[in-house]
Structure 1
């Protein structure tokens, strides 16, 4: 890793310490239980013991030695984990002390450290309305620190958002089934088909990171905003309670629309709001996944 500015190095170090603690103490075992390997691999045969599954009996070996033997298997544990992050301009918004992008960096770091702790490979994809950065999956702490650095400091060339672009890239470069965490605020539409196709191929979990002001708009007087559908600028009077309520309702509808789509295609859904403990919804999701397996 090249020499970093002191402030950035301190931030990376702080995130490393915080997330390592979270992975070791808060999420210990939860990640491993939630994400199983891709199958079972034959290991050896052993003498049959009472309680063994009779379907595992190796009849050839049993006949040869005139004593029951069973096949034993081990889980193919190693997974490829991709963290795909929307780095468009909206990720740099915040009504709290931290930008959404900083929350995303900590969430990404937590997932990355969880992966390498379980000997999985982890990769990173940063996208806006184009592919901004791609780090192929690797193992090791040094690689995770590179992931954190790019999550914090990478400067995207574009400010736009195209979630479909990121998902289509993943489908092209990762043909083998893996785990994919898609992190965005999901303020745009038009990704239904690639989301569906990605969920069919991979274990896809979407993480929606939002800010309180996106659903509870404050009284800030006259504001000029860009409509996400028409791309046109318009002025809104946020001192008008009815106008604020309409904005909040639209934000809630957008998030609910995304949640229902995710549920329909069989992917996972986590919602994290800036200013709250992001580990709680992650833990809830991991526990839910563990119960279903």
Structure 2
């Protein structure tokens, strides 16, 4: 189901993100993406005569015996990748106290990664999720496909507003048989059901990267007296006294617990991760991510 965004406004947003994402992928991330996210492995290319300095482990003994001269096997990297973008569409991502919401930031980061991928002839697909898979976009290449993907990220209206990170990870494992590069882009705001085991299983099968988006305005509870709060995921409303030091401390602790859960899960699963705030430049974090993986 589509949102009620006016077509002209949607096209303007898509165009703005396209210009920025393409510029970054061409000017800032050129070459870095290729080095950071390698192909599926090495494929046999040809045999050639042995040269001084060649690794003796690459000698093709059958050809060597046939021609009575040493020959070695030459391998080339299988470059083409399938890139899957697992993007959080839950109610909490609509929040933002800066110039953009977490959902808009998610879309922009996904677009930058997508344009970087197609420049390297990789295919890009997406899984938009809440506590269910809301939309699956099969992996394809080409600018037209990426623009369609960006439009969906900005305009898609999910059926649910709640979060279950196990859902997209399990779906990825079932659907994508061959190893792919997967970016899980979310605020990782999930209570209750643990997702550490599913995260580890996905990381074993695929090259998984976690990108946590957050809003600094939500880290601390401001002192505003008695206010009405709406839970963006459950829809529950209640009044709280924000002047209470105990309540603000409890709120801060809950945020820290969410962050600690995210970081410890990534560490245990061997998952590279970055954290990006709304209203701030995400480019340095992506550059850091690429640099760590080179």
For normalisation by structure 2, the TM-score amounts to 0.92
> Which of 227, 252, 256 matches 2:256?
252
For normalisation by structure 1, the TM-score amounts to 0.92
Rounded to whole Å, the distance in 1 between the matches of 2:150 and 2:239 is: 37
2:97 matched residue in structure 1: 95
Rounded to whole Å, the distance in 1 between the matches of 2:56 and 2:72 is: 8
Are 1:130 and 2:117 matched, yes or no? no
Structure 2: 5+ residue stretches without partners: 1-5
Please list the CA deviations of residues 170-212 of structure 1 after superposition, one character each: whole Å capped at 9, or x if unmatched: 1211121111111111110422222121111111111110000
* CA drift at 1:140: 0.7
Are 1:288 and 2:259 matched, yes or no? no
1:279 matched residue in structure 2: 283
* CA drift at 1:45: 0.7
Please list the CA deviations of residues 32-59 of structure 1 after superposition, one character each: whole Å capped at 9, or x if unmatched: 1111111111000112222111111112
Task: Check whether the contact 1:215–1:249 (CA below 8 A) recurs between aligned residues.
Answer: no
1:261 matched residue in structure 2: 265
2:68 matched residue in structure 1: 66
Task: Check whether the contact 2:134–2:158 (CA below 8 A) recurs between aligned residues.
Answer: yes
Rounded to whole Å, the distance in 2 between the matches of 1:220 and 1:280 is: 34
Task: Check whether the contact 1:120–1:139 (CA below 8 A) recurs between aligned residues.
Answer: yes
Structure 1: 5+ residue stretches without partners: none
Rounded to whole Å, the distance in 2 between the matches of 1:176 and 1:16 is: 29
Rounded to whole Å, the distance in 1 between the matches of 2:287 and 2:182 is: 17
Are 1:49 and 2:23 matched, yes or no? no
Rounded to whole Å, the distance in 1 between the matches of 2:256 and 2:218 is: 8
Rounded to whole Å, the distance in 1 between the matches of 2:232 and 2:128 is: 21
Task: Check whether the contact 1:188–1:228 (CA below 8 A) recurs between aligned residues.
Answer: no
Rounded to whole Å, the distance in 1 between the matches of 2:218 and 2:77 is: 43
1:150 matched residue in structure 2: 152
Are 1:166 and 2:168 matched, yes or no? yes
1:217 matched residue in structure 2: 221
2:78 matched residue in structure 1: 76
* Segment of structure 1 superposing worse, 269-278 or 231-240: 231-240
| Runs of 4+ in structure 1 over 3 Å off | 224-235
Task: Check whether the contact 1:128–1:161 (CA below 8 A) recurs between aligned residues.
Answer: yes
Rounded to whole Å, the distance in 2 between the matches of 1:197 and 1:142 is: 33
Task: Check whether the contact 2:161–2:234 (CA below 8 A) recurs between aligned residues.
Answer: no
2:200 matched residue in structure 1: 196
Residue 137 of structure 1 aligns to a residue in which SS? strand
2:3 matched residue in structure 1: none
Cα RMSD of the aligned pairs, angstroms, is 2.0
* CA drift at 1:91: 0.6
Task: Check whether the contact 2:209–2:273 (CA below 8 A) recurs between aligned residues.
Answer: yes
Please list the CA deviations of residues 240-286 of structure 1 after superposition, one character each: whole Å capped at 9, or x if unmatched: 34432332232122112111111101112111111111111111011
Rounded to whole Å, the distance in 1 between the matches of 2:250 and 2:224 is: 15
Rounded to whole Å, the distance in 1 between the matches of 2:164 and 2:22 is: 32
* CA drift at 1:125: 0.6
Rounded to whole Å, the distance in 2 between the matches of 1:97 and 1:115 is: 27
Rounded to whole Å, the distance in 2 between the matches of 1:182 and 1:278 is: 16
